[in-house]
């Protein structure tokens, strides 16, 4: 396993260098001073481009959290300042923005991004410049698999999500006992790494992998891949996509071809949206948050309260990216205030504040947040609980694990002609 992780890290390092990431560049020598008692935090996300929907949700969540924190006295009585940058869902742009924030501004941390590709390039920069980088919702395995010391991810990784889904499969009643699986996934870095995790878990579960079909990003037509999948008669069909149109198209064309496995599975991303729920009845989605999960923050605010507050302010539903990004800013606040209670923090010394924050994040243990307990391991990965939700009546209902389950799953999925 260590050898595999090392190889993944090596491949990713090569990928980052190809994208312009210089892991061996010298640290900046210019000391940036903060004027007054201000704590600036940067957000690099996609306000335009393919992941704009995700990024806008993140920026809104940080806007709301910033207003709340400042209204309550800021961070250790210092005003929180939010600096938002649009990476246009472009890794090179994200890298340049992170570099500019790190070298030419006084940000004590960067939060982001809205996609795996942009997160990877920003992570290389923040590691090089020694700036804490909090990743709220991107689940791409490589973000925390390389061994960075300045990256902290709140969301579960792809392998954690896939592992939870196969734990669920292993605990199904004998009558369902799936023996074969097919997967359709798009040609992106994140989706390919999910395929690796699914292939490994399938093999270890003793399930036959009857088809693995790759399709182009936003391909629109998946009939040839779905036809080959149908020929394998899989008990499980596993969808992976980074694009909502792809996710919807896969389901609509599955209906068109009368594709009827016992179980449809998918992982978060576009599959956890209300738009997908309109076509994805009975699909079981690996998720990380719902408005029904019984998590509360230290102000006793629960998921439903947060969701209502967010939708009232922005006239849009809160999803995982909203709650995880909102929580990320409160994690920074808690970490800095815990550190300030133990030692003197010179807020004008940006290097000291960044170092203090990194140490505090590596030690933090928060039991009560809207995104569940927060504690980062040596790789910067939070042990975030994975939730499996089934789309029932266009609602996402928690069906696993037992601790959070709202009801038993409806399985096997009814054939299309019986719906």
Give pLDDT, residue 273.
87
Name beta bridge partners: 81.
Answer: 40
Give CA separation, 269 vs 155, 243, 274, 385, 398, in Å.
Answer: 12, 8, 11, 17, 17
Whether the pLDDT of residue 297 is over 90: the answer is yes
Average pLDDT over residues 34-54: 87
Q: Which residues of the chain form CATH 3.40.50.2300?
A: 2-156+295-363, 159-287+386-418
Q: CA-CA distance, 54 to 153, in Å (whole number)?
A: 16
Give pLDDT, residue 36.
53
**DSSP 8-state class, residue 405:** -
Beta carbons of 45 and 58 less than 8 angstroms apart: yes
**Separate counts of helices (H) and strands (E) for the chain:** 13, 12
Give pLDDT, residue 188.
78
Class of domain 159-287+386-418 as given by CATH: alpha beta
Average pLDDT over residues 37-55: 94
Peptide bond into 253 cis (omega under 30): no
Task: Give the pLDDT band of residue 292 (cuts 50, 70, 90).
Answer: confident
Nearest to 183 by CA among 221, 228, 140, 220: 228
Q: How does pLDDT run across 128-166, given as a tens digit for each residue?
A: 999 999 999 999 899 999 999 999 999 999 999 999 999
Peptide bond into 234 cis (omega under 30): no
Whether the pLDDT of residue 176 is over 80: the answer is yes
Q: How does pLDDT run across 347-404, given as a tens digit for each residue?
A: 999 999 999 999 999 999 999 999 999 999 999 999 999 999 999 999 999 999 999 9
Beta carbons of 86 and 56 less than 8 angstroms apart: no
Whether the pLDDT of residue 14 is over 50: the answer is no
Average pLDDT over residues 404-414: 96
Element (H, E) at 44: strand 38-45
Mean pLDDT of the chain: 90
Average pLDDT over residues 321-337: 97
Element (H, E) at 191: helix 189-204
Q: CA-CA distance, 292 to 398, in Å (whole number)?
A: 8
Give pLDDT, residue 187.
84
Whether the pLDDT of residue 218 is over 90: the answer is no
Tokens linked to 295: 């998590």
What count of Cα atoms within 13 Å lies in the side-chain half-sphere of residue 95?
A: 18
User: Cα-Cα-Cα-Cα dihedral of 304, 244, 91, 83, to 10°?
Assistant: -30
Around Cβ 394, how many Cβ atoms within 10 Å?
A: 12
Burial of 221 (0-12, 13-18, 19+ CB in 10 A): exposed
**CATH, domain range 2-156+295-363:** 3.40.50.2300
Task: Give the pLDDT band of residue 268 (cuts 50, 70, 90).
Answer: confident
């Amino acid at each position: 396993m260590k050898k595999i992780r090392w190889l993944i890290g090596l491949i990713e390092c090569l990928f980052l260098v190809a994208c312009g990431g210089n892991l061996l560049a010298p640290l900046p020598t210019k000391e940036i001073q903060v004027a007054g008692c201000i704590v600036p935090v940067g957000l690099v996300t996609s306000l335009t481009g393919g992941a704009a929907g995700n990024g806008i949700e993140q920026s809104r969540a940080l806007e709301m959290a910033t207003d709340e924190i400042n209204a309550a006295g800021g961070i250790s009585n210092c005003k929180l300042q939010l600096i938002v940058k649009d990476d246009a869902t472009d890794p090179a742009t994200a890298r340049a923005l992170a570099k500019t924030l790190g070298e030419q501004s006084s940000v004590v941390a960067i939060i982001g991004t809205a996609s795996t590709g942009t997160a990877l390039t920003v992570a290389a920069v923040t590691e090089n410049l020694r700036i804490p980088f909090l990743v709220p919702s991107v689940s791409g395995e490589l973000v925390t698999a390389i061994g960075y010391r300045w990256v902290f991810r709140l969301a579960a990784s792809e392998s954690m999500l896939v592992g939870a889904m196969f734990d669920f499969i292993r605990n199904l009643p004998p009558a369902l006992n799936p023996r074969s699986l097919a997967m359709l996934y798009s040609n992106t870095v994140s989706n390919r790494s999910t395929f690796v995790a699914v292939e490994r878990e399938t093999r270890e579960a003793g399930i036959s992998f009857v088809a693995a079909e790759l399709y182009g990003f936003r391909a629109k037509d998946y009939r040839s891949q779905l036809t080959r999948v149908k020929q394998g008669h899989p008990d499980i069909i596993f969808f992976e996509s980074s694009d909502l149109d792809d996710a919807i198209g896969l389901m609509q064309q599955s209906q068109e071809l009368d594709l009827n496995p016992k179980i449809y599975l998918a992982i978060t991303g576009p599959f956890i949206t209300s738009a997908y729920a309109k076509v994805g009845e009975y699909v079981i989605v690996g998720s990380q948050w719902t408005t029904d999960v019984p998590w509360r923050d230290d102000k006793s605010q629960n998921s439903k309260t947060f969701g209502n507050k967010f939708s009232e302010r922005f006239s849009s539903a809160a999803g995982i990216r909203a709650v995880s990004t909102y929580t990320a800013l409160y994690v920074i606040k808690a970490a800095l205030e815990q550190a300030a209670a133990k030692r003197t923090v010179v807020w004008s010394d940006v290097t000291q504040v960044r170092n203090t924050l990194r140490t505090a994040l590596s030690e933090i243990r928060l039991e009560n947040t809207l995104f569940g307990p927060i504690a980062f391991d040596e790789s910067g990965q939070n042990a975030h609980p994975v939730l499996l939700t089934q789309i029932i009546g266009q609602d996402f209902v928690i069906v696993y694990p037992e601790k959070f389950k709202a009801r038993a799953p409806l399985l096997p999925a009814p054939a299309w002609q019986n719906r």
